[in-house]
């Protein structure tokens, strides 16, 4: 009898272990498939324009001459800067589309539909040379930016809502890692031995179709965000099933109750608009923190390095034949650093990695400025510039490269999250546009001192985060909001009265209501008493 009970217990334990492993497997698949058609493409499009720069400029000039019988001359730099920077304008437009899309289509549905933008953009850009219209490349870059704007807001939202809190940071780092892989892939395919030739550079843009098709083929078989299903669609059965798949366990009642504890009053509050979010005093410092973090994420100088790496190395005195391969090393360093960050984020926390990353970037930008200034003094100094650039990239990837997206999902509760991602995305893409458009002129004006601008920004970001940002590691969304309550001068982290419009006559579904009421009784509060706060 005892032997039978022991075997039964062992079988039950084995079954539980297998179920948890299946849940972890689905989480990994969801993060990878979501990222390959989203953040991977964003990273790819950051670096893909770097290798064929000279060929694309020549194509612009030839097209211009064939139409107007004279060369572009001085306008070529501005036209090329617009080609690079318009990607960010598209991203800004995409950010504005996120809130209505995720509310109507859900997180997964938005990611699926977004692939159509990538496919259309790939076709336009890859056919530009064949058609003789350089405008197709510019329009394609704009549409690809729309894809990136939607993806970089929707994917972190989806991952933060399907992840258990103890691995939320690590899973969120998949976004950063796949951005790095995308950058590295663009560098590899841009080598002269592959597509980095005058006759093959359009293929660099046609490749974009492949990740989009992979996501379209696999993502439909994965569940929607359980938080979205429960809190916005009031689909308790669907939310339970999604939790069971992602968490790998049959009993998810505790997880359902945890979500409802966050949303005790939010089921009767409409999803906040951007204007309502900005006017809400209870999340004022969360908004400021996201704005500062996202601005520093883009203005810290990393995108300037990706957009203009070849030019930077050329000015550093590196031989032209070696530049593509040295550029390739930057992508490899970025991937390694991002993976290290993903493995350590749940141990060290978000705050130390962010502050440490920006702090180290400040240091290495300073050394890079000195090495660029003195590069003609000694033959080894240009190689010091390479080391500094690699160190800046590694410093960025250990924290600032992925954590801002994780933080945006963590600092806001369900009803505020879409609007928060819109604010973060707007700051992100506007800053991206500024860097892409202005950096060539900053470099021309300041010469070797141009990176001191980025050093100052990194130092300012590190200082702000040191004094303001609380650690969010392994905390629930409610606990994170409560940590800002004192700074926001609020008694507790709940929405303010102006946003707390309770629909007293609304009768929610029976099962959902009963669980919600039980949760309210546990906390000793009614819906109306919380609104009174």
- Write the pLDDT tens digit of every residue in 316-335: 667 777 777 777 777 788 88
**Given a cut of 90, is residue 262 above it in pLDDT?**
no
Are the beta carbons of 423 and 291 closer than 8 angstroms? Answer: yes
* C-alpha to C-alpha distance for 83 and 79, rounded to whole angstroms: 6
Residue 105: what pLDDT? 92
Which position has the higher pLDDT, 225 or 324? 225
* C-alpha to C-alpha distance for 247 and 464, rounded to whole angstroms: 36
Residue 470: what pLDDT? 86
* C-alpha to C-alpha distance for 34 and 178, rounded to whole angstroms: 10
**Given a cut of 50, is residue 272 above it in pLDDT?**
yes
Q: What are φ and ψ of residue 257, in 5° steps?
A: -65, -35
Q: What is the mean pLDDT of the chain?
A: 80
**Total length of the chain:** 533
At residue 203 the predicted structure's pLDDT band, cuts being 50, 70 and 90, is very high
* C-alpha to C-alpha distance for 356 and 344, rounded to whole angstroms: 13
In the block, tokens 């369900």 appear at: 414
* C-alpha to C-alpha distance for 242 and 436, rounded to whole angstroms: 40
Q: What are φ and ψ of residue 287, in 5° steps?
A: -65, -45
For the stretch 10-60, pLDDT in tens is 454 454 444 455 557 888 899 899 999 998 999 899 888 877 888 888 888
For the stretch 92-145, pLDDT in tens is 899 889 888 998 899 999 999 999 999 999 999 999 988 888 889 999 999 999
% the chain with pLDDT above 90: 23
* C-alpha to C-alpha distance for 227 and 414, rounded to whole angstroms: 8
**Given a cut of 70, is residue 426 above it in pLDDT?**
yes
Q: pTM of the full predicted structure?
A: 0.72
Q: How many CB atoms lie within 10 A of CB 436?
A: 26
The H or E element that residue 132 is part of is none
The domains of the chain, with CATH numbers, are: 17-222 (1.20.1250.20), 272-491 (1.20.1250.20)
Mean pLDDT of 402-421: 82
Residue 501: what pLDDT? 38
Averaging pLDDT over each range in 34-43, 301-310, 477-486, which range is the top one?
Answer: 34-43
Mean pLDDT of 495-522: 41
Mean pLDDT of 388-417: 83
Which of 120-129, 506-515, 524-533 bottoms out in mean pLDDT, i.e. has the lowest?
524-533
Three-class secondary structure of residue 291 per DSSP: helix
Residue 460: what pLDDT? 95
Three-class secondary structure of residue 251 per DSSP: coil
At residue 208 the predicted structure's pLDDT band, cuts being 50, 70 and 90, is very high
Q: Is the dihedral of CA 276, 277, 283, 288 positive or negative?
A: negative
Rg (CA), the chain: 25
* C-alpha to C-alpha distance for 309 and 400, rounded to whole angstroms: 20
Averaging pLDDT over each range in 308-322, 430-444, 466-480, which range is the top one?
Answer: 466-480
Which position has the higher pLDDT, 493 or 230? 230
Which of 71-75, 145-149, 221-225, 289-293 bottoms out in mean pLDDT, i.e. has the lowest?
71-75
Mean pLDDT of 275-283: 86
Exposure string over 340-373, b if 16+ CB within 10 A, otherwise e:
ebbebbbebbbbbbbbbbbbbbbbbbbbbbebbe
Question: How far is Cα of residue 430 from the mean position of the Cα atoms in its chain?
Answer: 15
What one-character DSSP code corresponds to residue 349?
-
* Distances, alpha carbon 44 to alpha carbons 77, 141, 149, 348, 382, in Å: 22, 12, 14, 29, 27
């Amino acid at each position: 009898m005892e032997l039978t009970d022991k075997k039964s217990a062992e079988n039950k334990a084995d079954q539980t272990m297998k179920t948890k492993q299946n849940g972890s497997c689905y989480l990994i698949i969801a993060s990878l498939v979501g990222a390959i058609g989203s953040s991977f493409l964003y990273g790819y499009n950051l670096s893909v324009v770097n290798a064929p720069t000279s060929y694309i400029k020549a194509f612009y000039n030839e097209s211009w001459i064939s139409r107007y019988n004279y060369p572009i001359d001085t306008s070529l730099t501005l036209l090329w800067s617009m080609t690079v920077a318009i990607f960010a304008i598209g991203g800004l437009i995409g950010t504005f589309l996120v809130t209505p899309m995720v509310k109507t289509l859900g997180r997964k549905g938005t990611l699926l539909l977004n692939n159509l933008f990538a496919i259309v953009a790939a076709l336009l850009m890859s056919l530009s040379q064949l058609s003789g219209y350089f405008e197709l490349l510019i329009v394609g870059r704009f549409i690809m930016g729309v894809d990136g704007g939607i993806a970089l807001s929707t994917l972190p939202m989806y991952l933060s809502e399907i992840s258990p809190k103890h691995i939320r940071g690590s899973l969120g780092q998949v976004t950063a890692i796949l951005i790095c892989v995308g950058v590295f892939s663009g560098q590899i395919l841009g080598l002269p031995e592959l597509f980095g030739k005058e006759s093959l550079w359009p293929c660099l843009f046609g490749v974009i179709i492949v990740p989009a098709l992979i996501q379209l083929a696999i993502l439909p078989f994965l569940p929607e965000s359980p938080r979205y299903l429960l809190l916005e669609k009031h689909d308790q059965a669907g939310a339970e099933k999604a939790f069971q798949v992602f968490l790998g366990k049959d009993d998810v009642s505790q997880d359902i109750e945890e979500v409802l504890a966050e949303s005790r009053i939010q089921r009767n509050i409409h999803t906040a608009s951007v204007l309502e979010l900005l006017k809400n005093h209870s999340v004022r410092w969360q908004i400021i923190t996201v704005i500062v973090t996202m601005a520093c994420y883009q203005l810290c100088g990393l995108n300037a390095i990706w957009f203009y790496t070849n030019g930077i190395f050329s000015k550093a005195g590196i031989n032209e034949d070696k530049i593509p391969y040295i550029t390739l090393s930057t992508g490899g360093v970025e991937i390694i650093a991002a993976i290290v960050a993903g493995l350590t984020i749940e141990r060290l926390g978000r705050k130390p990695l962010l502050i440490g990353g920006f702090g180290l970037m400040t240091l290495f930008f300073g050394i890079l400025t000195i090495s660029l200034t003195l590069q003609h003094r000694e033959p080894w100094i240009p190689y010091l510039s390479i080391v500094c650039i690699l160190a800046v990239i590694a410093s960025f990837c250990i924290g600032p490269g992925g954590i801002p997206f994780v933080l945006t999902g963590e600092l806001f509760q369900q009803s505020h999250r879409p609007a928060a991602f819109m604010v973060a995305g707007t700051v992100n893409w506007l800053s991206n546009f500024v860097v892409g458009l202005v950096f060539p002129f900053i470099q021309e004006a300041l010469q070797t001192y141009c990176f001191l601008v980025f050093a100052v920004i990194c130092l300012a970001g590190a200082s702000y985060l040191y004094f303001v940002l609380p650690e969010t590691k392994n905390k629930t969304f409610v606990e994170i909001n409560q940590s800002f309550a004192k700074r926001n001068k609020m008694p507790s982290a709940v929405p303010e009265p102006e946003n707390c419009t309770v629909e007293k006559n609304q009768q929610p579904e029976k099962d959902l209501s009963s669980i919600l009421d039980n949760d309210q009784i546990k906390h000793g509060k009614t819906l109306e008493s919380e609104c009174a706060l």
